[in-house]
């Protein structure tokens, strides 16, 4: 049982919400649709569910073309952003609601109910009504209503967006466990990258109705395909510095002239060898990969510390090289002072080079 989208398109009048996207989700795989609001991720999910008509293209579930099937005929399970729990039914009744269409016996229904209640720890609240539940409980009931069935696939629309930070952390882990027990393709829509990075087997980053990159979380993080993905994934945001390649230097090193006059001398791997001199590029480096030195080096930029934000185990320092705000994250024990003059070093193998918006040469694995 897999999900396939080929050229799926959805239009609202003159607005193209989803623009000819291709997706493949295998059995048992969890795919996250990640992106800013309005990028079309929820619309895509609803097209798979059958709540929105697909204007062009094909959608296949389990090999069967479902474009013309109503949602109820597709046998999909969906958990809604606002939970959509039936207010007049108790939790138990909400959970077994989808089973009415399957013609099961009382005993079978009871068994399934007990199983789900146990997995999601819903036993204490089975007799309550949605109006009496806390957000986290509602969310678990919504998930429970999905997994009590054996549908062709599972769809989740922003499952954790309404929970507070702490609850989100707990639920993230719980949901991941639950998802691992399912053997059907699962699609999760979220705007929270941490959720995506944690729960997904693969992430599809979307923007303006198009997919920018589909890859494992590690790849999306470590080798972002373009500037958008690079800037979207990772907090604090990756530093993106426009630069001009002065010319290949000796020994596989290149000199990049940064706006504002400073230069960086960095390793250029094989992939960057074809870059002509004078090429305009964007250098990207994650805040945690930058090193702070007290002495200048060939691969460092001198800057002043503008602002220090303690973040607990780490510290976020905003450096200013005269033109750009450079974010650096260091261990909390590093001594820094605002106004101090330091040098931000671009260690070998940690800088991404983007040419014409797309990743050309990338560094190796960076720290998360």
80 binds other proteins (CB under 8 A): yes
| Number of shown-chain residues binding other proteins (CB under 8 A) | 24
Closest CA to 140 of 166, 175, 173: 175
Beta strands in 177-252 (DSSP E): 186-190, 202-207, 210-215, 239-248
Choices 83-91, 231-239, 269-277, 296-304 (CB under 8 A): range interacting with other proteins: 83-91
Distance of CA 323 to the CA centre of its chain: 30
Contact string 87-126 vs other proteins (x = CB under 8 A): xxx-------xx-xx-------------------------
Q: Which is nearer to other proteins, 96 or 268 (CB)?
A: 96
Pick the binder of other proteins from 1, 20, 69, 84 (CB under 8 A): 84
Choices 64-72, 280-288, 297-305, 310-318 (CB under 8 A): range interacting with other proteins: 64-72
Structure tokens at 71: 């949602």
Q: Which is nearer to other proteins, 78 or 285 (CB)?
A: 78
Give backbone dihedrals phi and psi of 112, rounded to 5 degrees, phi first: -60, -40
Choices 69-77, 330-338, 342-350, 355-363 (CB under 8 A): range interacting with other proteins: 69-77
Residue environment code for 71-97, b if the CB has 16+ CB neighbours within 10 A, otherwise e: eeebbbbbbbbebebeeeebbbebbbe
CB atoms within 10 A of CB 261: 9
CA 44, CA 239: separation in Å to the nearest integer?
A: 31
12, β-bridge pairs: 15
* CB-facing half-sphere around the CA of 33: CA atoms within 13 A: 32
51 binds other proteins (CB under 8 A): yes
Structure tokens at 294: 């007290």
Contact string 139-168 vs other proteins (x = CB under 8 A): ------x-----------------------
Q: Which is nearer to other proteins, 51 or 244 (CB)?
A: 51
For residues 223-262, which are near other proteins according to CB under 8 A?
none
Question: In angstroms, how far apart are the furthest CA atoms of the chain?
Answer: 78
Closest CA to 363 of 53, 352, 355: 352
Looking at the chain, the number of H-run helices and the number of E-run strands are 9, 21
DSSP state of 100: G
Structure tokens at 27: 């059995």
Q: Which is nearer to other proteins, 89 or 119 (CB)?
A: 89
Pick the binder of other proteins from 3, 18, 30, 49 (CB under 8 A): 49
Q: Which is nearer to other proteins, 104 or 240 (CB)?
A: 104
Smallest distance, other proteins to C-beta of residue 86, A: 5
Contact string 4-43 vs other proteins (x = CB under 8 A): --------------------------------------x-
Residues engaged in binding other proteins (CB under 8 A)? 42, 49-51, 70-72, 75-78, 80, 82, 84, 86-89, 97-98, 100-101, 131, 145
């Amino acid at each position: 049982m897999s999900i396939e989208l080929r050229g799926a398109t959805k239009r609202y009048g003159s607005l193209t919400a989803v623009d000819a996207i291709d997706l493949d989700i295998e059995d048992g795989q969890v795919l996250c649709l990640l992106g800013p609001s309005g990028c079309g991720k929820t619309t895509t999910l609803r097209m798979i569910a059958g709540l929105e008509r697909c204007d062009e293209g094909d959608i296949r579930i389990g090999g069967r073309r479902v474009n013309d099937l109503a949602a109820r005929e597709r046998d999909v399970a969906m958990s809604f952003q606002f939970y959509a729990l039936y207010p007049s039914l108790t939790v138990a009744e909400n959970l077994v609601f989808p089973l009415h269409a399957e013609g099961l016996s009382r005993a079978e229904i009871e068994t399934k109910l007990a199983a789900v209640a146990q997995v999601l720890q819903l036993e204490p609240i089975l007799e309550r009504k949605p109006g009496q539940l806390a957000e986290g409980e509602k969310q678990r009931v919504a998930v429970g209503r999905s997994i009590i069935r054996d549908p062709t696939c599972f769809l989740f629309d922003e499952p954790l967006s309404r929970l507070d930070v702490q609850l989100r952390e707990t639920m993230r882990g719980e949901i991941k466990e639950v998802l691992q027990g399912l053997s059907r393709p699962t699609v999760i829509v979220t705007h929270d990258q941490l959720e995506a990075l944690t729960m997904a087997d693969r992430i599809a980053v979307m923007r303006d109705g198009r997919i920018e990159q589909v890859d494992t979380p590690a790849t999306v993080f470590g080798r972002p395909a373009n500037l958008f993905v690079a800037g979207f994934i990772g907090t604090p945001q990756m530093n993106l510095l426009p630069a001009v390649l002065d010319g290949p230097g000796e020994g596989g090193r290149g000199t990049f002239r940064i706006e504002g006059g400073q230069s960086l001398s960095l390793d250029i791997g094989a992939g960057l060898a074809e870059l002509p001199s004078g090429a305009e590029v964007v250098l990207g480096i994650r805040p945690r990969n930058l090193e702070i030195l007290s002495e200048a080096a060939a691969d460092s930029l001198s800057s002043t510390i503008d602002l220090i934000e303690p973040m607990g185990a780490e510290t976020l320092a905003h450096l200013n090289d005269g033109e750009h705000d450079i974010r650096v994250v260091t261990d909390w024990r590093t001594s820094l002072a605002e106004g101090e003059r330091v040098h931000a070093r671009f260690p070998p193998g940690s800088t991404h080079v983007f040419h014409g918006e797309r990743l050309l040469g990338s560094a190796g694995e960076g720290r998360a």
